[in-house]
Chain A
Amino acid sequence: MSGAAVVVREVTKTYRDGGLVANAGIDLEVGAGEVFGLLGPNGAGKSTLVRQLVGLTRPDRGRIEMFGHDIVAGPSVAGHLVAYLGQDEPALLDLPVHAAVATTARLRGESRRAAAAEATDLVDELGLTAVANRPLARLSGGQRRLACVASSLAARRPLLLLDEPTAGLDPVARREVWAAVARRRDAHGVTVVLVTHNVLEAEAVLDRVAILDRGRVIACDTPGRLKAAVSDDVRLDLVWRFDPPYDEPTVAALAERAVVTGRRWTVRLAADEARAALGRLTSGAAFASLDDFTLATPSLEDVYLALGGRDDDLERV
């Protein structure tokens, strides 16, 4: 890390309605040029933290510095430093895609001509040229999200703050978004803070990740180091076509340790033990009852659960 782009210290936020503690003393540092993730289930406090980073919500306590500027004391500075993409963008819904992107560029200070030219490039980059003149409200959910991403990329800022940017996107569109983000990081050193509750996305695109639970950071490191630190266990998933043959000794042994979700069994085992069990299952009579199986190294979800995460609603798409 060449230096911190964002420093968050002891940030606390409690909502007056109902006294919900959204952030309970958050400490973070995001390095310049890093793709940094905030991972956690719904209600973990990710979006509240993001709103504070962008100056929309004021923390009750704590400090937020962004590229050397105090965001708590002067929240309006954030608008100069951050390109923010919220979970939805209702303000732009009635505008055609090109006009929406150009409007954001203009409101970030570009001339009308420069904004129009940049909008044309961004619409092309994200594969939206065919619908450039169609209002966002008349697009499919995925296309609308892509258009909002394009809008957030207009008039480059040193920090991209994206709240679930790929929610509702198909795999091709997801890759387009990540390619566009990566280009900005690689070519211009843009720092990226990404909110997600998608474990696979977090593992694939993040340099470092902070795992949030109930308003606290319960872990923060690279995905690889977090997974290695938690356990050497692997995860064996078995999906049964019929009732599992409990008379089979391997099946009986696994049944005692499995987390059962419908027809799916999830068992966490040492790697050797898992390989041996899978070998016996696939070569024995139980194989006829098996519909599918996977053997996987620990995921960030395993990290989350091992660290005491209490809500198991992380997405695995």
Chain B
Amino acid sequence: MTETSVLAPVVPVSVGTRTSWWATADAVYRLALARGRIARGPLLFVATLQSVGILVLLRGVVRHPDRATSAAVVAGGTILVVAFVALNLLAQRFGAMRTGRSLDYFAALPVPVSAVVLGTAASYATFTVPGALLTAVVGAAMFGLPFEQLWLVVPAVAAAGIALSGLGAALGLSLPRVELATVAGQLGMTVVLFLGLIPPGHLPAALRGLRQAVPSTYAVDVLAAGLRGSATPGGVLWRVAASLAYGAVTLAIAARAFRRAVAS
């Protein structure tokens, strides 16, 4: 093909700056919160009931658990609330946005795509906080664990939210169909359930390695240490940092999948 020259004089217009990362994430966060307003209550109820139910079941099965086992179980059950929403539901949400062409709206705006993904993911992670708090309190009471370091549920939920929602977004944006995103999200949640709830000392060596590769493990360990009353600032910080690193990588993958999904 030979390129034709421009016949008419072009009217030049200068391009302004891109909308800032934080302003974008904030606007998208509020947009996603508004969307979740109706479904949030029932879904959170289901997520919390599921985790509390598992804790009740385990409390009945294990007669005299040691403190480490109890702390691991309660921490795993608490982070499961985050996994249900930030991994499972978010994968479905991004899958639906992909197939419903909602991504076009954002792609046609001068905004950083990673901020769109994070804003949406953060809104989902936010509404897990009450359920996770309730699960942790009920679990600690059931298993007779100390409440002094229960505040660690806040950084633990934040860390798990960051690590898992990035993964949920990446799954939803990468897979070509909502059904596949749903299956992938539920499989991911199952992995978090088993490897988060079972105390690391009870796992075979091979699964212990796999446990370390699961993004939510670091959040589970932060909370478990708090429930044992043995959390240290250094231990909390490095585990939160590990979750942040996971989140950054999965967010970058999700942003790339976003651009590919729009262009497809």
Contact = CB atoms under 8 A, between A and B. Distances in A.
A63 B13 contact: no
B111 A5 contact: no
Interface stretch (B17-25, B58-66, B141-149, B225-233): B17-25
B11 A5 contact: yes
A220 to B, nearest CB: 13
A109 B10 contact: no
B263 interface: yes
A7 B8 CA distance: 8
B9 interface: yes
Interface string B240-264: 0000000000000000000000110
B97 A2 contact: no
A81 B27 contact: no
Interface residues of B, number: 41
Contacts of B3: 9-10, 63
A107 B19 contact: yes
B29 to A, nearest CB: 11
Interface residues of A, number: 51
B108 A82 contact: yes
A126 interface: no
Contacts of A61: 1
Contact of A57 (B37, B106, B263): B263
A79 interface: yes
Interface string A47-86: 0000100111110011101011100000011111110101
A158 B105 CA distance: 18
A80 B14 CA distance: 9
A3 B8 contact: yes
Interface string B175-191: 00000000000000000
B105 A65 contact: no
Contact of B10 (A68, A94, A96): A68
A90 B101 contact: yes
Nearest to A76: B110
A1 B238 CA distance: 63
A48 to B, nearest CB: 13
A77 B15 contact: yes
Interface of B: 1, 3-4, 6-13, 15-19, 23-24, 27-28, 30-31, 34-35, 37-38, 97, 100-111, 262-263
13 contacts: A4-B7, A9-B4, A10-B4, A56-B108, A68-B10, A76-B18, A81-B15, A95-B35, A104-B109, A106-B27, A107-B23, A108-B110, A158-B13
Given A67-B12, A82-B108, A90-B100, 8 more contacts: A9-B6, A56-B262, A68-B13, A86-B101, A86-B104, A107-B27, A107-B28, A107-B110
